[in-house]
Amino acid sequence: MRVRVLGCSGAIARDCRTTSFLLDQHTLIDAGTGVGDLTFEEMVRIEDVFLTHTHLDHIACLPLMLDTVAGARVRRPLRVHALPGTIAALREHVFNNVIWPDFSRLPTPQNPMLVFHPLEPGARRQVHSCVIEALPARHTVPAVGYAASSALRGSRWWVFSGDTERNPEFWRRVNQMDVAALVIETAFSNRERDLARQAMHLSPAVLADELENIDLHGSYPIYITHTKPAETETIMREVADFSHVRLSEGEDAHDIRWLSAGHVFEV
């Protein structure tokens, strides 16, 4: 399985795209502004979109992409998988014929360009050659993370936390998986930890506590996502500080890296 990072920034600026990952050629995890860098041909190949939640930085390109490929999706509706609350919000606030056309009823209700598929944390779907599982997340709106793996028996998991604050349920499930890589958000620096808590995001100090939940036998690279352009250097410096200061005797440091658009995971 190949995971291509289309966008992983917490905001937009030159060379900064918001959250979206392309799995192989047919599946998106989130549909932030990074989707806009795909070619028309690449957009047409996408069959499934798995959304973590409704915030604009994770859905901005979903309605725009549908409009772009509409002529090529006749009798091939795009499947959007998300929590029921996420689907309800998209219907009410986006695909409502005011903000954007309701592609779930166009060109006809019997032959739409968009079909919603509700899921809950723990749900597992196989799409093409990938297996995708929804993971629990804790955010200001209903949210999930995702784990993805090749459908081949014994394959390892690529794990994405989604937007989340402290989340013991997430770690309980992740510790049961053979993880190849973890992508986890850290949206605010430590000086903004109170704001991070209110917005239900992680800061480096809280991330440090969260990584203590990783099973002692768990060892895999950890990629930091969702940093805002003005804060990235500060956040990564604070992450580097805790990853060394908190080491116990004989304990290995976590392999923590900053994630950037264009990175490709081969899982």
pLDDT at 251: 57
pLDDT at 252: 62
Answer whether residue 21 shows pLDDT above 90.
yes
d(CA 124, CA 132): 6
| Average pLDDT, integer, range 222-228 | 96
What percentage of the chain has pLDDT greater than the value 70? Answer: 96
pLDDT at 246: 52
Give the residue carrying structure tokens 């219907």.
91
**How many other C-beta atoms can be found within 10 angstroms of the C-beta atom of residue 35?**
27
| Residue closest to 35 by CA, chosen among 59, 56, 15 | 59
| Average pLDDT, integer, range 63-67 | 97
Spatial neighbors of 65 by CB under 8 A, at least 6 apart, are: 31, 35, 38, 43, 46
218 close to 179: Cβ distance less than 8 angstroms? yes
| Residue closest to 78 by CA, chosen among 125, 117, 40 | 117
| pLDDT tens-digit readout, 119-146 | 999 999 999 999 999 999 999 999 999 9
Query: What 3-state DSSP class applies to 101?
Result: coil
* All domains of the chain in start order, with CATH: 2-260 (3.60.15.10)
Answer whether residue 250 shows pLDDT above 70.
no
110 close to 95: Cβ distance less than 8 angstroms? no
| pLDDT tens-digit readout, 159-191 | 999 999 999 999 999 999 999 999 999 999 999
- The type of residue at 85 is G
pLDDT at 213: 94
Q: What does pLDDT average to over the chain?
A: 94
189 close to 221: Cβ distance less than 8 angstroms? no
